[in-house]
């Protein structure tokens, strides 16, 4: 395990294997104030919101009233339009007598069901983050099957969000969104919360922008973890012994179905329930 200096609030750890992750938690994260964590399949993916990624795919809006110009240089929906469209779309779908929701609660509800939002999912558990980093197979473009990749786990110290206040100024603010929903069991199972990420920004950019002089205490910690196919399976098998699976993190029918499909992968069969042979 190697680590570099803290530069503008950001530090990085490079592990030789996922097996060093427990040691990192013990020696680093347990000795700090509370952190929130996120796992990503690829270390080199920026910490950007799903809304921002969708804007990258569809950056233009068609001119519906004239042919000059044929396209406008802006996404089809602004954030406000995206939220209002979702509010209209879910009308009548939240059960009888649904309670009023704040905008943040609507964003959180949409995030749960796959809406592109300005939120990024985080968790209070570093090992849940490790699961999401390793859960999906990933073959880099142009690489042969089984090629090793680098997966990423990230930690942000919650002490920077004193009293729930956002970090930064103007359009560079980063803030925590605590979802409040009684009808989403995944929130408790995953220790879930969100970070609101401004348009055209990622979390690392915002930290470096707002903590230019921070060299003694990290605000964002990046953990780089190499992973081959076998490493991935071994890591997931270990996490299963800790009861960290799709079944435990998504305690609903979709999670149960996803867990069963997940155990089809060679080497993960033992994660599934014992199925007696048919008579």
pLDDT of residue 164: 62
Mean pLDDT in residue range 126-145: 83
Rounded CA-CA distance 83/106 in Å is 8
pLDDT of residue 184: 67
Is the model's pLDDT at 262 over the cut of 60?
yes
Mean pLDDT in residue range 13-38: 94
Q: For residue range 89-132, list pLDDT tens digits in order.
A: 999 998 888 889 999 999 998 998 899 999 999 999 999 999 99
Confidence of residue 147 (pLDDT cuts 50, 70, 90): low
The pLDDT > 70 percentage for the chain reads 87
Pick the more confident residue, 230 or 268. Answer: 230
Is the model's pLDDT at 275 over the cut of 60?
no
Average pLDDT, the chain: 86
Is the model's pLDDT at 65 over the cut of 90?
no
Confidence of residue 191 (pLDDT cuts 50, 70, 90): confident
pTM of the model: 0.88
Mean pLDDT in residue range 57-61: 85
Pick the more confident residue, 40 or 66. Answer: 40
Least confidently predicted of 14-18, 44-48, 60-64: 60-64
Mean pLDDT in residue range 233-261: 89
Is the model's pLDDT at 30 over the cut of 80?
yes
Reading the block at residue 158, the tokens are 């919650």
Least confidently predicted of 72-81, 174-183, 217-226: 174-183
pLDDT of residue 279: 45
The 3-state secondary structure of the chain reads CEECCCECCEEEEECCCHHHHHHHHHHCHHHCCCEEEEEECCCCCCCCCHHHHHHHHCCCEECCCCCCCCEECCCCCCHHHHHHHHHHHCCCCCCCCCCCCCHHHHHHHHHHCCCCCCEEEEECCHHHHHHHHHCCCCCCCCCCCCCCEEEEEEEEEHHHCHHHCCECCHHHCEEEECCCCCCCCHHHHHCEEEEECCCCCCHHHHHHHHCCCCCCCCCEEEEEEEECHHHHHHHHHHHHHCCCCHHHHCCCHHHHHHHHHHCCCCCCHHHCCCCCCCC
pLDDT of residue 142: 58
């Amino acid at each position: 395990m190697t680590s570099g200096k803290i530069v503008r609030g950001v530090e990085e750890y490079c592990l030789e294997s996922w097996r060093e992750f427990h040691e990192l938690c013990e020696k680093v994260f347990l000795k700090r104030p509370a952190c929130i964590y996120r796992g990503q399949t690829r270390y080199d993916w920026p910490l950007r919101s799903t809304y921002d990624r969708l804007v990258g795919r569809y950056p233009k809006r068609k001119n519906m009233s004239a042919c000059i110009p044929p396209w406008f240089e802006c996404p089809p929906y602004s954030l406000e339009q995206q939220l209002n469209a979702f509010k209209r779309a879910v009308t009548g779908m939240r059960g009888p007598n649904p309670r009023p929701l704040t905008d943040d609660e609507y964003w959180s509800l949409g995030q749960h069901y796959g809406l592109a939002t300005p939120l990024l999912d985080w968790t209070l558990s570093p090992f849940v983050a490790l699961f999401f980093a390793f859960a999906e197979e990933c073959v880099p473009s142009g690489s042969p099957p089984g090629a090793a990749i680098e997966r990423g786990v990230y930690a942000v110290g919650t002490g920077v969000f004193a009293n729930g206040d956002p970090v930064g100024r103007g359009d560079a603010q980063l803030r925590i969104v605590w979802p409040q929903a009684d009808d989403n069991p995944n929130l408790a199972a995953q220790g879930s919360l969100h970070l609101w990420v401004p348009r055209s920004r990622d979390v690392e950019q915002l930290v470096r922008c707002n903590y230019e002089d921070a060299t003694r205490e990290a605000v964002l910690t990046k953990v780089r973890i190499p992973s081959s196919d076998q490493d991935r399976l071994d890591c997931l098998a270990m996490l299963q012994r800790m009861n960290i699976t799709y079944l435990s993190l998504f305690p609903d029918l979709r999670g149960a179905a996803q867990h069963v499909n997940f155990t089809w992968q060679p080497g993960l069969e033992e994660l599934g329930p014992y199925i007696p042979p048919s008579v």
